[in-house]
Structures are given as structure tokens and as C-alpha cells.
Structure 1
Amino acid sequence: MSSQQSVPEQAHTAQGVRGIIAQRDLVVDLIRTACVVLVVFVHVTMVGVGTADDGITVTSPLQELDWYVAATWIGQVMPLFFVVGGFASIVGWRSTVARGGGARDWWATRLVRLFRPAVPLFVVLAAGLGTATVAGTPSDLLAEVAFGIGSPLWFLAAYGITQCCVPLMVRLHERAPWRTLASLLVLAAAIDVVRLETGLAEVGLLNLGPVWLFAQQLGFLWADGWFARRARVLLVLVAVGAYAALVPMTSVGLWAPDMLQDLNPPMLPLAFLAIAQACLVHLVHGPLTRLMRTRAAQASVFLVGRDGMAIYLWHLPLFIALNGVALLVGVPFPEPGGTVWWATRPVALVVLLGVAIAVARALRSFDRPLPRLVPGADRPAWPVLVVAALCTVGPAFAVMQLHLSFSVALAGALLVPLGVFLLTRTTPAAGVTRI
């Protein structure tokens, strides 16, 4: 039989693709892709590498601007990322349940999809930091570089935790959505109060749950059409109210007005920022939907979005590497923060995205999803899944808490592949004897 499709088959395939696109809210894909690009751009503008008579200088031009703090109230998009993640999660969970899957199937598929792309990154980081250590790189310089490279890895821990909670949180959402949202908000506030009263920053790590789960629950509301059914005036009022609440919260010294400072550990203001951002997105949902009906927009989102996780994970190591290569070959560096430097930031963004996409394509085998279960097969038992979750989430959590180092990178290079391996194993389904 020929491997080529006939014209009717091709037409049927094309109709199927269009049907899938029609059933999805492509604005979610657009927002998710835009968030990744914005995060990359922010980092491109926050790291200013220059040369001087006494050596290489590294500054943060973006943070030196007078309007930087105010801009974080719009540019801090991680709450919105968790909101759109919540939309995708509840849709994915309901699809899993509809085909007969359960929580173990969900854990395995989502953790593999999240952490398999991180396997080569941890291996490269361990090899690079180990080589730099053996080569005698000054420890303070190496620690500074490692801190910058590892800073995005907090997301793996936070998102991994929220993904593991999806089965429970969907159940709570379906039973009592508003009570669940209110409870998460109160719990996040209580944790922040304890942290501020005791001065123990480690207490704030508990808010990895309530703050990001709150944003995820807003995504559940999005998927259920709650925002779409609200009047535009109400969405405006809610968004204004959320931003208004941030003013006293960040003016009394309890929380920083800089929303990036409130990120790790996550703090209560990010929950209010998630409310405002979710409402603002739905105010422009109509124009964004029309935009996503164009082939150009769909192609752009597909080009960047399909490798979004790999781009996010690799963009800072690649940016530092590109700057190092440019220094070695003698590329002239404009003064960080100057007119020429700012004018070159879009060029730097395009170059970095291009290189990151190329790396992502080369590592595409690490971004493949876990195949669906075949009849008679089942996911690993809960004890194995829990061990696998600890192996995958643990190193990213260690980076967030201890910062990146050779030992942490080495632990990730060993544990993350082990966790992914355990997650990919299947066992006989209940009542099925394997021959």
C-alpha cells in the first residue's frame, strides 16, 4: 500500500486539523507564547554586558530605569502563565478522565512532558560547572554566573507541584469554586504573615502551593466560560479593584512594590495580579481571537509555542554563552543602558530566540509526550510515582532554594532522568496478568 495519502484523505486530514483548531481557545496558546517571549526579552534587557579597562562589567540596565518598578505590575506575567496553565490543565484532565484515565495517568504524562526537556539541560549544566570548577574559575564569578543561569528553573518546581495537584483541585473547583479560591487566598495571606512575623524566608516557600494554585483555579474558571459570561464593565471593575488592592499592600512595607521581588518565594500580591491579568486578557479576548484566525499569527505561535518549554529553559544559558563567544571574537559591545544598547535589544531578542529554537529542534526527542496506555497496561503504582515526582521536582526545588551549583546540577543530571525513566514504565492493569 502506498504511504502517500489520496486527495480525499488529505482533505479529511485538513478538516480534522481545522476542527481541532476550532475547538481550542487559541488565545491561550497566544498568551502562553507571548509570556515566554516577554520573559526572554526581560532577561535580554536585564543583563548588560560591557567592556572596560579593568575587565568585563555586568549591569542591569532595566532595573536602573525610573519606571521599572511600575512596569513590573504589567510585565510580571508569571501569574498569567499559571492562569493559562490552569485552562490547559482542566481541559487536559477532563480529556484524561473521558478516555478512562485517572490521577496516576495524569501525573505520569504531565511530569514527563514538563521534565523530560530538562534532562539535557541539567546534564550540560553539570558538565559546564564541573569543567569550570576544575579549570580554576574564581568561585565568586562562577557562583554569580550559575545563579543567573539557574534562576528560571524555579518554574519547574512550582509548575510541577501545581500539576500534581490538578486532580484534587479540579474536584474542589467543581464542588465549591469560590470557597476554594477564598481559602487559597486566605492561606496565602496567613503564610505571608507568619513569614513576615518570624523573619523566616523559608516559610514563604509554603506559598508555592496557595499562590500558584489560586492562579491555576482562575484558569479553571476561564475554561468553564465564567469570564466570557461576565459584562465588560464588571471585568474592568474587578481588574481595577485588584490593582487598587495592590497599592496599600505594597505601600506599608509588608510586600515589595517590585513584583519580581515578590516572585521567589511567591507572595500574596501575585494572586491579585493574576486576577487583574485574567480580567484584562478577557477584555481583549475578541480582538485576540480574530488575530489568531490569521495564518501569520497561527504560524508564529506554532513556531515559538511548540518549543516554548525548551526556549524557556535554555534561553539564559544560551544568552550567557552568546555573550561569551562575542567577547572572545572581539565583537564591540555598546555601553549597557545607552541609546545604541537599547536599540540593539530587539536584535538580541531575535538572535537569542533563533538560537534557542535551533537548540530546541535539535533536542526535540526530549520533548516528546508520553504515549497513551495500550489495553492491558497501567501507569506505575503510587509509591513509584511519588519517588519519580521527588526525583524530578526535587532538583528544581533545590535550585530555587540553594541556587544553582555543580552539586545541585549533578543531582539534577542524575535524578531527573531517573524520575522520567520511572514515569515512563508501565505495569499490567488491575486484573490483567502479564505473560
Structure 2
Amino acid sequence: MSTKQSLPVQANRAQDVRGIIAKRDLVVDLIRTACVVLVVFVHVTMVGVAAGPDGIAVTSPLQELPWYVTATWIGQVMPLFFVVGGFASAIGWRSTVARGGGARDYVATRLVRLFRPAIPLFTVLAIGLGIATALGTPPELLAEVAFGIGSPLWFLAAYGITQCCVPFMVRLHERAPWRTLGALLLLATAVDAMRFATGAAEVGLLNLGPVWLFAQQIGFLWADGWFARRSRILLVVVAAAGYALLVPITSIGLWAPDMLQDLNPPMLPLAVLAISQACLVQVVHAPLTRLMRTRAAQGAVFVLGRDGMTIYLWHLPLFIALNGVALFVGVPFPDPGSATWWATRAVALVVLLGVALAVARGLRWFDRPLPRLLPGADRPAWPVLAVAALCTIGPAFVVMQLHLSFGVALLGALLVPAGVWLLTKTVPARGVARI
């Protein structure tokens, strides 16, 4: 093909990319940022530290409240996070295709963006847990602290799996969106049935696919404008029906009414919750859009959203470290659950977010994306990408199953950088001879 012939093709691709970017929904950025902040706030209210004559005691004041279980039906935002992730994934995939890229380019780019910020975290955790073990820290205390620090890492495994599936799932969505959603829902139900029949919680790990891919497919519908074309009345009815369905299925003793208990491994109620949450977001989409036209909202979303993944990964280790420093210097701790303690939660949230932002800015080198492919180049072949995916997703999956420990942190500190390095490699595109 001559240069004159290729110029119109390049111009059309550039126009396609600009068109895709122009469709960016700032409400998605707002929701993604709000979800991260809400997760941080929930953890700030779930960890109460008290220093007394008998030593240090850790309680969970939030879970002791009588309305806590009911609140999880609103505060469990992970299904919504995967929905907005599906929206962003659909836009990202179409942008990749419009630039002339393919599935390998998309998967490599997304995995690097997800796991490169985790490299310093696994390294610090391995060093810290190794030192604590060498100093003779009581195993029970160390295991409890490590469990808390590592609890958010499940998200890396779950989201990484869904990102690897995006090119395939988009094709299914384009061919048969409703059959795909129905099949995923049936699979999620079947996995839960096997889990209940066998009594093995490990069987539920199979639902890392169907449940979160279902939520992601809902995001594909959102990106297509399906929810925007529905009336508010219909959306409210569907959302209400979803919540109404949760009442009987969480009352028969199989699924927990506490949506946090249904999280790891994920269970069917979270898929139902994804539908209701997506509908409710569209109901308030117009006022949220007006909010995102203000400079204050745009600034807050930019500052917090830019480092959202790093804030999410680091907030619990930092919160535990800040509590440790406060205990060491003798800061008075109010009784967890008291009026004074609750009044200080807003201050704790602001301080934690501030420190997390400072850490994120210090680690910004790890948050850089993969550069665009040059003409004639492509990402490594699928076998190499598969190895890289195992290296990056594997340690987070092990944390989800076995909980964090020195050995698991060391595994992550070694494998995640190796996987990211493999993902950054490029090879000649198909049909391009190496010179």
C-alpha cells in the first residue's frame, strides 16, 4: 500500500479514536472515584483500635451496629465498580481496535496498568513481613495484621481475570448480549449450587468468572447507551425488583444477607445487586452530569481518580501504620464505637487519603501506562501473555485463597515484576519481517 493510500486510513482511524474519546462519560470517573473513597471510609469505620491496660485491642464498630447488614445492600459497591469497569473496558477495547490494535495489545496494556502499581506494594510487604518474622513477632498477631493488609488484594485477581476476557466477552456481547447475560447468570447459580451441595467454599472461586463478568457485561450495555434509552420509571422498577429479589434469596439460609460475606468468593446476590445499582446510577445520571460540569467536582475526581488504584492498594497498610505510629507517640485513642470515635472518622479519612495521595505521587513512576505500539509492532504471542497473566494475577489469587504471609508477599514481589516485564515486550506484527 502506498503512502498516499494509507493516509486516508490513518485519518479515519484517528477520527474514530476522537469519536470514542468524545463519548467519555465523566459520571463513570465520578463513580469509580467515589467507590474507592467509600471503600476507604468503610475500612476506616470497620477498624477500631483501643489501647488499655491489657494491651491493644482491635474491634469492628461498624459491624456491631444494628443496621450494618442493611447498609451493605447500599455500601457494597464492588458490583458497581465492575459495572463501570465494563463501561471503561468497552470504550478502551473499541479505541484499541480503532487504532488498529488487537486483543493482545488490549490485554497487555490493561494488565500492566493494573499490576505495575502493585510492584512496590508486594516488595514493601515482603520486606516488612520478613523483618517482623525475623524479629520474633508473635505469629498470631502477625497473621492478623497480614490478613487485614492483604484483604484488598483479591480485587487484583478478579479484575485481572475480567480484563483478560474483555476481547472475547465484547464479541459475545455484540452477537448475543442477552443470551450472554443469561448464560453467565445460570453459571453463577450453578457454581453456588455446587458450593452449597459440596460444602466446599473453594468451589465458589469458579464464580470469579461468571459473577464479575456478568457485572462487566452490564457495563457493556451502559457503554452502548441501553440504560440511557430506558425511562426513569422502568429503571426504578427494575432496581426495586432486584432488591426485592434479594430479600427471599438471602432469607433461605444459603446466601448471606450481609453483602460483604457474599464477596469472597463472589456469589449470585452480587450479580443481582449489579443490575439494581446500574439502574439507580442511570436514574441520577443527569444531576451527576451537572455536578461533573463544576470545577470543584472535576478537580476532586482528577486528584483522587488519577491515583485511585494506588490509593486502593495502599490504604489499609497505611492505615495500620498510622495507627501504629499514633500508639507509639502516645496519641489518645477514643473508645471505638463511642460518639467521639465516630466524630473522628472524617478526620481519619482525610488524613489517610492525604497520606495515600502523597505515597501515590511518590510512586507515580509505577503508574505509567504502556506506550502505544509503533507501526509494524505487536505484543508478545499468546503463550507469553498467558505466562505473564499467571505471574501477575497468580499472587493476588493466592492471597485471596491463603491470605497474606511473608512467603506469599515474596512470591508477589518476584512474580509480578516478571509478569509486567514480559507484558512490556514487543514483537514484529504478523506479516512483518524482522530486519
- TM-score tier by shorter-chain length is over 0.9
Give, in whole Å, the separation in 1 of the partners of 2:112 and 2:19: 27
Distance 1:375 1:390 in 2: 28
Q: Secondary structure at the match of 1:49?
A: strand
- 1:86-105 aligned at under 5 Å gives the runs 86-105=86-105
Amino acid in structure 2 at the alignment position of 1:72: T
Residue of structure 1 in register with 2:222 after alignment:
222
Structure 1 counterpart of 2:315, one-letter code: H
Q: Secondary structure at the match of 2:56?
A: strand
Using the alignment, how far apart are the partners of 2:400 and 2:26 within structure 1?
A: 32
TM-score, length of structure 2 as denominator length: 0.95
Give me the whole-angstrom Cα distance separating, in 1, the residues matched to 2:383 and 2:203. Answer: 27
Q: Which residue number corresponds to residue 12 of structure 2?
A: none
Task: Tell me what 1:164 maps to.
Answer: 164
Q: Distance in 2 between matches of 1:352 and 1:415?
A: 29
Matched with 1:245 is 245
Q: For the residues of structure 2 that align with 1:20 and 1:314, how far apart are their CA atoms? A: 32
Structure 1 CA distance, aligned partners of 2:120 and 2:418? 13
CA-to-aligned-CA distance 1:203-229 (integer Å, 9 cap, x gap): 000000000000000000000000000
Shift in Å, 1:20? 9.1
Q: Aligned residue pairs: how many?
A: 418
Q: Which amino acid aligns with 2:371?
A: P
Determine if the alignment matches structure 1 residue 362 to structure 2 residue 368. no
Q: Which residue of 1 aligns with 2:78?
A: 78
Aligned to 1:416: 416
Gaps of 5+ in 1: 1-17
Letter in 2 for 1:196: F
TM-aligned CA distance change 1:201 to 1:20, over 3 Å:
closer
State how 1:4-403 maps to structure 2 within 5 Å: 23-403=23-403
User: How far apart are the structure 2 equivalents of 1:147 and 1:98?
Assistant: 43
SS at match of 2:50: strand
CA distance in 1: counterparts of 2:42 and 2:126, whole angstroms: 26
Q: Which residue of 1 aligns with 2:426?
A: 426
C-alpha distance after superposition, 1:162-182 (max 9, x if no partner): 000000110000000000001
Root mean square deviation of aligned Cα: 1.1
Q: Which residue number corresponds to residue 8 of structure 1?
A: none
Give, in whole Å, the separation in 1 of the partners of 2:21 and 2:103.
27
User: How far off is 1:434 after superposition?
Assistant: 3.1
Whole-Å separation in 2 of the counterparts to 1:376 and 1:22: 27
Q: Distance in 1 between matches of 2:378 and 2:237?
A: 48
Deviation of 1:22 after TM superposition, in Å, equals: 5.5
2:405 maps to which residue? 405
Structure 1 residues 331 and 20, CA gap change in structure 2 (3 angstroms):
farther
Q: What amino acid does structure 1 have at the position aligned with 2:317?
A: P
Whole-Å separation in 2 of the counterparts to 1:213 and 1:19: 26
TM-score, scaled relative to structure 1: 0.95
Distance between the aligned counterparts of 2:293 and 2:429, measured in 1? 43
> How far apart are 1:338 and its partner, in Å?
0.3
Measured in 2, the distance between the counterparts of 1:384 and 1:20 equals 30
Deviation digits for residues 132-159 of structure 1 (CA, Å, limit 9, x no counterpart): 0000000000000000000000000000
Q: 1:21 to 1:423 in 2, by over 3 A?
A: closer
Amino acid across the alignment from 1:283? V
Identity of aligned residues (%): 83
Aligned-partner Cα distance in 2 for 1:213–1:431 = 34
Question: Alpha-carbon deviations, 1:109-128, whole Å to 9, x = none?
Answer: 00000000000000000000
Deviation digits for residues 33-61 of structure 1 (CA, Å, limit 9, x no counterpart)? 00000000000000000111111110000
Q: 1:186 to 1:221 in 2, by over 3 A?
A: same
Give the whole-Å Cα distance in 1 for the aligned partners of 2:126 and 2:28: 34
CA displacement at 1:322 relative to structure 2: 0.3
The one-letter code matched in structure 2 to 1:225 is G
Distance (whole Å) between structure 2 residues aligned to residue 199 and residue 164 of structure 1: 30
Counterpart code for 2:223:
A
CA offsets, 1:285-332, max 9 Å, x none? 000000000011000000000000000000000000000000000000
Query: Which amino acid in the other structure matches residue 246 of structure 2?
Result: L
Letter in 2 for 1:128: G
Q: What secondary structure, in the 3-state scheme, does the structure 1 residue paired with 2:408 have? A: helix
Q: Distance in 1 between matches of 2:34 and 2:20?
A: 21
Question: Is the contact made by 2:107 and 2:163 (CA closer than 8 Å) also made in structure 1?
Answer: yes
> 1:432, CA displacement in angstroms?
2.4
Q: Which residue of 1 aligns with 2:13?
A: none
Deviation at 1:378, TM superposition (A): 1.3
Cα distance in 2 between the residues matched to 1:266 and 1:220: 20
Which consecutive unaligned segments of at least 5 residues does structure 2 have?
1-17
Encode CA deviations 1:169-199: one digit per residue, 9 max, x unaligned. 1000000000000110011001001100110
**What is the alpha-carbon distance in structure 1 between the residues aligned to residue 314 and residue 155 of structure 2?**
13
